[in-house]
Structure 1
């Protein structure tokens, strides 16, 4: 338990250091829900809702909801087809205001372990539709997960974006944090993420709940 407290203190101090390096930028927050709901041995529903703020509890930057159908190819490999809806504040953009966006996405997911360290690879193809514009993106995310105890685990991820219609290397997301197993189907997570878009770096706190009913036993 002392190790967990020490790790949390180090993480908090690190967040303060990052904020001090970027005094002109506000520390924002993402409040997140992610769900996976079993339909059959092969199919499950993927659901998501994110509320993303420029500041910790003020000035919403973006709302995003996502719905998809996942097909389990084997215990390590799966594929997802889905739709996303976004409403984004474009106050700092050229036209100002906000805009709505729809996306179609296709995911290919690979999971495996090396000893206790879990690896999760996600390759995502995305077609974006907004303001009479169509965009085509490819995203690759590598996630690592390591258990600290029966309840606690720590994670690290990095995701890169490639834009086929604009700048090839579009952006990078790097994040780390902790998750707590509340029950067999519910996890809570808290972490930090740095978003790099061109030469701009955004610092975000992530607070979320994950509901996964895929492993629940039938009564």
Structure 2
């Protein structure tokens, strides 16, 4: 009887240790990004851009990343503009494990080109990013193509794809593919809901629900 009890305790302990040793898989969870985007027109050519995002591993739990982006945008023509700005990120690199987080600072530069084919609006964005985190520097080159199709005066549908190239290690870093809808509440306020598939090199795919609000203000008057 004692041997049977001892064997049971050992087997239970080994099973419990094995379960604790298996790391949870974030690629199997449906996460969410809650987003704010601001555009503040200062003059005919110049506007300020702002963004805040709360990114969660799960829809309402375990925040993965907090991001603040501030920048200035200069409009060269009706179709071409450029921007430069600063980004602060606080990232938890682990899912469902309390292993600490780290801060990151970035400088970014954008070149934006817009055009239309029939009723479909196209936007091309080429972005360079310089990353500073944990005594390390890195560089991203990102290209995004986005399509927007109005449905009526209030609703529109959008689709985009963005590829990240890394100057350190493997060239391909990740890809974001997303789609959704936007609702125009007023000339100042728009709401957004969509879905995004994130493919990260050598890690896997992440599924994210996108919920956002966009505010546009005009300070020229």
Q: Per the shorter chain, which TM-score range?
A: 0.7 to 0.9
Aligned residues: CA RMSD: 1.8
Determine if contact 2:26/2:206 at 8 Å carries over to the other structure. Answer: no
SS in 2 for 1:52: strand
SS in 1 for 2:169: coil
In structure 1, how many angstroms separate the alpha carbons of the residues matched to 2:192 and 2:131?
Answer: 28
Please state how far the C-alpha of 1:186 moved relative to its aligned partner.
1.2
SS in 1 for 2:186: coil
TM-score by length of 2: 0.84
Please list the CA deviations of residues 7-46 of structure 1 after superposition, one character each: whole Å capped at 9, or x if unmatched. xxxxxxxxxxxxxxx9971100000001110111111000
2:108 to 100, 105, 110: 105
TM-score by length of 1: 0.85
1:171 aligned onto 2:186: no
Please state how far the C-alpha of 1:213 moved relative to its aligned partner.
2.3
Q: Report runs of 4+ in structure 1 exceeding 3 Å deviation.
A: none
Determine if contact 2:104/2:131 at 8 Å carries over to the other structure. Answer: yes
Task: Show the 5 A alignment for 1:26-105.
Answer: 26-91=29-94, 96-105=99-108
SS in 2 for 1:213: strand
Task: Show the 5 A alignment for 1:167-206.
Answer: 167-199=170-202, 200-206=204-210
Please list the CA deviations of residues 157-204 of structure 1 after superposition, one character each: whole Å capped at 9, or x if unmatched. 000000001210110000000000000121100000000001400000
Matched positions, count: 194
